Amino acid sequence: MATIGAAATTRKKPLLAQLKLDLPKYVILAPAIILLFMFNYMPIYGVLIAFKNFKAAKGILGSDWAGFHYFELFLRDPNFWRVMKNTLLINIGNLLFGFPFPIIFALVINELRSKKFVKFAQTVSYLPYFISWVVAASIIRSILSPSTGMVNNAIKFFGFEPIYFLSKSSFFQPLLIISGIWKGFGMSAVYYIAALAGIDQELYQAAAVDGAGKMRQAWHITLPGLRNIIIVLFVLQLGSIMSIGFDQVFLLYNPMLYETGDVISTYTYRLGFPDSGVPQYSLSSAVGFTQSLANFILVFNANRLAKKYAGWSLW
């Protein structure tokens, strides 16, 4: 027995020594882990609101159970299906046009030989990413202003009437897609440019010797080299197809644009913080929970498809 105890103590010593050695790392990580737990895991407890007739005076546990009543309620609400359609259309547009844009930009940057111009182009492209949507929305409103905006000044210069872009619902979804691409493609391109730097240049030299042109090199060397990062970003973007940035829509839209601009995030916001009437916390929680569940299912299945057909996945 004494021998077994001594052996156990011997095994524990390296672990304790390693923990002591790594203690500074854990201390540095502790604030981030605490914040992650507080803002990403503790709020999960609030999911119960979706299944209860929530009353603030009674609290979450004290409120009466409502079962799936609020889920049935929003599924019968015509406004919900309108915002669902808008959310899907905008995100599908982002996927079709916004996803390949940074890939194309990275491929073009990779072919340029002027280092100064490359640095300038990269800086200009990812600078909007660091601008908040409050500032970005103000810039967009100024550019599209019917009286002093750059776009309408050009339209009037050619003899046409100014267009009220932020008052016409038909323009709003393309505006969201274009502004989203403008703000985010530069940072996405950084990931692809970093991946391009890791591709062995001897492959291009060998392909050139064999007579392969730039297009064939891009198809057979560059794109396969970007496969893993493309899969990661595609799975992540597909997983958020039921979501859209609240700030972007909220700061650009108005009641005249609800028909095509109202999305799930703004819809749940108005349920929880109505201009008049009683806040519908349970209903907004049910909508938000359904949205999160749909995103999880999409991420899970997109990852399975990536693993099955591309041979690589997130997990």
- In this predicted model, what pLDDT tens digit does every residue of 2-17 receive, in sequence order? 445 544 444 555 777 8
Q: Which pLDDT score, from 0 to 100, does residue 34 have?
A: 94
Residue 155 has pLDDT above 50, yes or no: yes
Please name which of 259, 244, 247, 248 lies closest in space to residue 167, comparing C-alpha atoms: 259
Determine the average pLDDT of the residues in 242-263. 86
Q: Are 231 and 312 in contact (CB under 8 A)?
A: yes
Please name which of 253, 268, 39 lies closest in space to residue 133, comparing C-alpha atoms: 253
Number of other residues whose CB lies within 10 A of the CB of residue 106? 25
User: Is 285 exposed, middle or buried, given 0-12, 13-18 or 19+ CB atoms closer than 10 A?
Assistant: buried
Torsion sign, CA atoms 257, 140, 105, 130: negative
CATH class, 78-309 region: mainly alpha
Q: Which pLDDT score, from 0 to 100, does residue 136 have?
A: 92
Q: Which pLDDT score, from 0 to 100, does residue 181 have?
A: 92
At residue 255 the predicted structure's pLDDT band, cuts being 50, 70 and 90, is confident
Q: Which pLDDT score, from 0 to 100, does residue 43 have?
A: 83
Q: Which pLDDT score, from 0 to 100, does residue 97 have?
A: 92
Determine the average pLDDT of the residues in 112-141. 89
Report residue 94 as tokens.
């982002």
Q: Which pLDDT score, from 0 to 100, does residue 215 have?
A: 83
Residue 47 has pLDDT above 60, yes or no: yes
How far is it, in rounded angstroms, from Cα 96 to Cα 87? 14
Residue 158, CA distances (Å) to 73, 150, 161 in order: 51, 13, 9
User: What are the helix and strand counts (H, E) for the chain?
Assistant: 17, 2
Q: Which pLDDT score, from 0 to 100, does residue 275 have?
A: 75
pLDDT tens string 262-272: 898 888 888 88
Q: Which pLDDT score, from 0 to 100, does residue 8 have?
A: 47
Determine the average pLDDT of the residues in 140-168. 89
Q: Which pLDDT score, from 0 to 100, does residue 13 have?
A: 58
Secondary structure of residue 64 in the 3-state scheme: strand
pLDDT tens string 52-86: 998 888 888 888 999 899 999 888 888 888 988 99
- Between residues 293 and 245, which one has the greater pLDDT? 293
Determine the average pLDDT of the residues in 149-153. 90
Q: Which pLDDT score, from 0 to 100, does residue 111 have?
A: 83
